[in-house]
Chain A
Amino acid sequence: MENTIVKAENYNSYFGDNHVVKDVNISINKNEVIAVMGPSGCGKTTFLRGINRMHELIPGATSKGKILLDGENVYDMNAIYVRAKIGMVFQRPNPFPNLSIYENVIAGYLLNGIKVSKADKDVIVERSLTSAALWKEVKDSLHKKGTFLSGGQQQRLCIARAIAMQPELILFDEPTSALDPISTSSVEALFHELKANYTLIIVTHNMQQAARVSDRTAFFYMGELVEFDDTKQMFTNPADQRTQNYITGRFS
């Protein structure tokens, strides 16, 4: 399908001899919000980190199979190029403590040594912060350090930093698990707006969050992709018994 942005074909990940992602086949469309859920240790984060080749940075970590980004296998591409093309937001907000809010947003350009004119930088910063619903709150303190912001603001700053690189795809690794409920809802509200321009893959162990924010949900269990379906469908009438058990809280 030409609308497909990411496609995994028989994708496997390992930590040494430990097989953590098993033969995953999945196809994700443009401008979709995908939730990836499952119990701890089910391989959901490892799968996510395989998409932008962050997995292999851990000593002993390897992978097999293909992940196609716009039809091209990311494992045939330069890893640095792949990571620049795909945005990522982590579990804990991690703005660069040595940079200001302004510099944090354009960190992808600054740190890569990409020359951008001052006027262009201003445009990128305003546009990215606006998209991340943070512009109004920080527009008067752009040159303060990013670490002075609250947790939720820091996380939105990290989203702005990812957006600034104009990725098509943004990966979220449990983006709200370190945030309080108010910050969580501000980040969740953002997902709906980002959908218009980006494809989002959100790893979460919070089922309510998956139900609230996503179009389709993938359920991982013991390294396998058990079920991948329309979110409503999955939460009301799951096809697999294991999904049913997870959703109804028979294990977590």
Chain B
Amino acid sequence: MEAKIGTRNIKSMIFKGIIVFFAFLITLPLIVILLYIIKQGITQVNWHFLTNVPAPPGEKGGGIVNALTGSFIMVLMASIVAVPVGILAGIYLSENPRTKLAYYSGLCVDILQGVPSIVVGIVVYFWVVKPLGGFSAIAGSIALAIMMLPIIIRSTEQTLKLLPDSLKEAALSLGVPYHRVILKVIVPCGFAGILSGITLSIARIIGETAPLLFTALGNNFFSLKITGQMESLPHVIFTYATSPYDDWHDLAWGASFILLMFVLTLNIVTKLLTRKWKIQL
């Protein structure tokens, strides 16, 4: 028996060593990607880069201001649509988990999450771009909103499901009507979780290229017109990186760096905010 305990301890130590190793291993891809993009991209980033439109082939310089504003506008419009719809649908799913509607719409949310982004792009192309007669930022935003929805719905649902029923009972027993219970008690108590779902969904779609290829397309010039073509960060990376010119490749690295920094910051800010606003139950 005593000898056995010795080998058991060794087995446990080996097992522990293995899981520590893999926990460490999964941090490597991110660190390598980060270092590589910082190395390649940081030299490109300067004021000129951030405030100018792309230069024509052969000319020096050029920047990504049109992509920055384009991405900002399209993500903003997508959020305006997806955030309220997603939160309301999430509330329904968490409040009525046993209904048929909740089952089927939950299923749809899961499937929607799995739909390849390029398919979303193609569908929006046939639904919006073709009927409207041209590529537009609106079409791009719709595609992005569809990508955002499942993340917001599921995170809202999961957050609200974790709140104890006693909270709702407390409010109901005071004679508070149902809609006020949800809006004044349940949603505020789950605010941190809902917010992190929103920011994560933004971090997720800001880098999406495929849904924009068939919708907003891209634009070499500065444009704020939402009914026209619009440039975006991932798209500018795509065009620069696939171009035959070396200095355009450098710009692609610069844009990648900006995009990566944005996603990274968004994730860190989300973590900090949710910690700050987390409600102690």
DSSP majority for the B interface? Answer: helix
A158 is an interface residue with CB less than 8 A from chain B: yes
The A-contacting residues of B in range 260-281, CB under 8 angstroms, are: 279-281
Q: A54-B172, A57-B172 are in contact. Are A111 and B185 (CB under 8 A)?
A: yes
Binds B, one of A34-42, A82-90, A189-197, A219-227: A82-90
What is the bound-complex CA distance between A49 and B181, given in angstroms? 18
What is the bound-complex CA distance between A57 and B175, given in angstroms? 13
Query: Does A112 lie within 8 Å of B189, measured CB to CB?
Result: no
**Which B residues are in CB contact (< 8 Å) with A96?**
167, 170-171, 185, 189
**Which A residues are in CB contact (< 8 Å) with B171?**
96, 107, 111
A165 is an interface residue with CB less than 8 A from chain B: yes
**Which A residues are in CB contact (< 8 Å) with B18?**
none
Min CB gap B232→A, angstroms: 37
B184 is an interface residue with CB less than 8 A from chain A: yes
B80 is an interface residue with CB less than 8 A from chain A: no
A-B contact count (CB 8 A): 78
Query: Does A94 lie within 8 Å of B188, measured CB to CB?
Result: no
**Which B residues are in CB contact (< 8 Å) with A82?**
175
Query: Does B175 lie within 8 Å of A94, measured CB to CB?
Result: no
Query: Does B188 lie within 8 Å of A80, measured CB to CB?
Result: no
**Which A residues are in CB contact (< 8 Å) with B175?**
80-85, 108, 112, 165
Query: Does A147 lie within 8 Å of B281, measured CB to CB?
Result: yes
What is the bound-complex CA distance between A80 and B174, given in angstroms? 8
Partner of A107, one of B174, B188, B280, B281: B174
Closest partner residue, chain B, to A83 (CB atom): B175
What is the bound-complex CA distance between A162 and B167, given in angstroms? 14
Min CB gap A207→B, angstroms: 25
B39 is an interface residue with CB less than 8 A from chain A: no
Q: How large is the interface on B (under 10, 10 to 19, 20 to 34, 35 or more residues)?
A: 20 to 34
**Which A residues are in CB contact (< 8 Å) with B110?**
none
**Which A residues are in CB contact (< 8 Å) with B4?**
none
B9 is an interface residue with CB less than 8 A from chain A: no
Closest partner residue, chain B, to A81 (CB atom): B175
Proximity string of chain B (77-118) to chain A, C-beta cutoff 8 Å, 1 when within and 0 when not: 000000000000000000000100000000000000000000
Min CB gap A34→B, angstroms: 18
Max chain B Cβ within 10 angstroms of own Cβ: one of A81, A82, A112? A112
Proximity string of chain B (141-184) to chain A, C-beta cutoff 8 Å, 1 when within and 0 when not: 00000000000000000000000101101111111110011001
Partner of B281, one of A97, A113, A162: A97
Please, could you name 5 A-B residue pairs with CB atoms under 8 Å apart, sorted by A?
A54-B169, A88-B173, A95-B170, A110-B184, A111-B171
A-to-B contact residues, CB < 8 Å: 52, 54, 57, 59, 80-85, 87-88, 90, 92, 94-98, 107-108, 110-113, 145, 147-148, 158, 161-162, 165
